[in-house]
C-alpha cells in the first residue's frame, strides 16, 4: 500500500472511477517550449506524436461514444498534424472541446491559422500563465515567454475569448510550495492583467506541481524531494477526494493507451485488464467502478485546496 492509499484509509476515504465525463487526449510530447516544471518532459526535440492510424481510431471512438468533453493536451497539442481533425470530429459529436494551450504557440511561425480556428470551432482555451509578472514566468518557462503570452492573450481577447468564448488561465507555483487561494489569486490576476495589458479572462485554475518528471528532477537536485512529499502529505485534505479528476476523466496516450490521469500516463501506470487496454478496447460504461491506480504523487492532488486540470477542488 503506498503512502497515498494509507492516507485515504486513515481518513475513511475511498477512490474509484465513476461515469466518464472527460476524454483527455495527450497527442504527443513535442512542444515549442521546455519548461522547468513540465510533468510531460515536453520539448521541441521530442518526437513521440500521434500517428494517422491511431488518430483515426480515436476519432471513430469519439463519434461512436460522444464524450461530454474532449480535452486535448500535449506537449503543445496544436503541433499535432491531427489537431484540427480531432477538434472538428469532437465538435461534430457534440462534445465540448478544450485546447490546453501554452499561448506562445500562437506566436510561432506557421500557426497564424490557430486563433481563428479555435474561435470558429468554439474551442475552450485553458492557457498556462504561471504569473502576471514577467520575472516569474521567465524563470519557469524561459525568456520572452511572458511577452509572447501577453500578445497571444490579446489576440484571443480580440476574437471574443474571455467574453463570448471561454478563456481560462492556469497558475502553478514556481517552486516547491502549495498554490495560494484560487479565488484571491484570480482577483489579483484579473486586476493586474486588465490594468497593465487590457486583458480579460474567465477563470483562474491553481494547480499543484506533481513530483514527477522534470519537476521531480529539480526537487532531487535541490535536495528538496523528501521535504516536498512531507509538505503534500501533511496538507492532506479529505474534502478534495470526492472531486479528484481521475473519477470522471480518462487519459489517453499518443498510442491510444489508457490511464487514470495525465500524471499516471507520465509514470506508465497504464490501465490493464490482464493485458494493457487501448481506447478502442473499451466503452465508457466499462470504466465505472474500476479501481484507480495510485502512487505517492497522488498526494499532490489532495494537498491544501486540492488540485486538478480544472484547478482547486475544495
Ligand atoms: S509545461 Fe506545457 S508549455 Fe511547458 S514544456 Fe511542458 S507542455 Fe510545453
Ligand atoms: S495523480 Fe491522477 S490518479 Fe492520482 S489522485 Fe491525482 S488524478 Fe487521481
pLDDT digits (tens, 9 = 90+) for 258-294: 999 999 999 999 999 999 999 999 999 999 999 999 9
> How far away, in angstroms, is 160 Cα from ligand 2 center?
33
Ligand 1 and 74: CB distance under 6 A: yes
> How far away, in angstroms, is 245 Cα from ligand 2 center?
7
Query: Can you tell me whether residue 107 is helix, strand or coil?
Result: helix
Residue 230 belongs to a domain: no
Give the dihedral sign, CA 241/24/67/105: positive
> How far away, in angstroms, is 210 Cα from ligand 2 center?
10
Ligand 1 and 105: CB distance under 6 A: no
For residues 49 and 51, give the distance between their C-alpha atoms in angstroms, rounded to a whole number.
Answer: 6
Largest CA distance in the chain: 56
pLDDT at 37: 77
Domain span at residue 273 reads 18-225+242-291
* pLDDT tens digits, 15-54: 999 999 999 999 999 999 998 778 888 999 999 999 999 9
Residue 29 belongs to a domain: yes
For 104, phi and psi rounded to 5 degrees? -65, -25
**Measuring from atom 2 of ligand 2, which residue has the nearest CA?**
261
**Measuring from atom 3 of ligand 1, which residue has the nearest CA?**
102
Residue 190 belongs to a domain: yes
Residue 13 belongs to a domain: no
- Tally of domains within the chain: 1
Ligand 1 and 46: CB distance under 6 A: no
pLDDT at 35: 84
pLDDT at 47: 96
Residue 104 belongs to a domain: yes
**Which residue from 151, 120, 112, 127 is spatially nearest to 73, judged by alpha carbons?**
127
For residues 217 and 282, give the distance between their C-alpha atoms in angstroms, rounded to a whole number.
Answer: 35
Cell readout for 112 is 497564424
Residue 12 belongs to a domain: no
Residue 220 has pLDDT above 80, yes or no: yes
> How far away, in angstroms, is 311 Cα from ligand 1 center?
17
Helix (H) or strand (E) holding 118: helix 114-120
Cβ of 35: how many Cβ atoms within 10 Å?
21
CATH number, domain of 125, equals 3.20.20.70
Residue 30 belongs to a domain: yes
Amino acid at each position: 500500500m503506498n503512502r497515498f492509499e494509507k492516507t485515504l484509509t486513515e481518513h475513511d476515504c475511498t477512490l474509484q472511477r465513476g461515469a466518464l465525463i472527460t476524454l483527455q487526449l495527450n497527442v504527443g510530447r513535442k512542444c515549442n517550449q521546455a519548461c522547468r516544471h513540465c510533468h510531460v518532459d515536453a520539448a521541441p526535440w521530442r518526437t513521440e506524436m500521434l500517428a494517422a492510424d491511431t488518430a483515426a481510431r480515436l476519432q471513430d471512438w469519439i463519434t461512436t461514444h460522444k464524450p461530454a468533453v474532449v480535452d486535448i493536451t500535449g506537449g503543445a497539442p496544436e503541433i499535432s498534424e491531427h489537431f484540427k481533425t480531432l477538434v472538428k470530429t469532437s465538435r461534430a459529436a457534440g462534445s465540448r472541446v478544450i485546447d490546453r494551450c501554452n499561448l506562445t504557440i500562437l506566436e510561432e511561425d506557421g500557426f497564424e491559422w490557430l486563433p481563428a480556428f479555435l474561435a470558429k470551432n468554439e474551442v475552450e482555451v485553458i492557457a498556462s500563465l504561471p504569473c502576471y509578472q514577467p520575472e516569474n514566468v521567465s524563470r519557469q518557462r524561459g525568456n520572452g515567454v511572458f511577452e509572447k503570452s501577453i500578445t497571444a492573450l490579446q489576440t484571443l481577447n480580440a476574437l471574443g475569448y474571455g467574453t463570448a468564448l471561454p478563456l481560462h488561465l492556469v497558475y502553478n507555483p514556481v517552486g516547491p510550495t502549495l498554490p495560494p487561494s484560487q479565488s484571491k489569486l484570480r482577483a489579483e490576476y484579473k486586476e493586474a492583467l486588465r490594468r497593465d495589458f487590457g486583458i480579460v479572462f474567465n477563470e483562474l485554475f491553481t494547480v499543484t506541481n506533481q513530483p514527477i518528471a522534470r519537476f521531480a528532477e529539480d526537487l532531487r537536485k535541490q535536495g528538496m524531494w523528501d521535504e516536498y512529499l512531507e509538505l503534500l502529505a501533511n496538507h492532506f485534505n479529505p474534502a478534495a477526494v470526492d472531486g479528484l479528476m481521475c473519477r470522471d476523466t480518462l487519459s489517453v496516450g499518443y498510442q491510444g493507451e489508457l490511464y487514470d490521469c495525465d500524471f499516471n500516463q507520465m509514470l506508465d501506470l497504464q490501465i490493464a485488464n490482464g493485458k494493457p487496454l487501448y481506447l478502442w478496447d473499451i466503452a465508457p460504461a466499462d470504466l465505472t467502478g474500476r479501481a484507480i491506480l495510485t502512487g505517492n504523487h497522488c498526494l499532490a492532488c489532495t494537498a491544501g485546496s486540492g488540485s486538478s486540470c480544472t484547478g482547486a477542488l475544495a
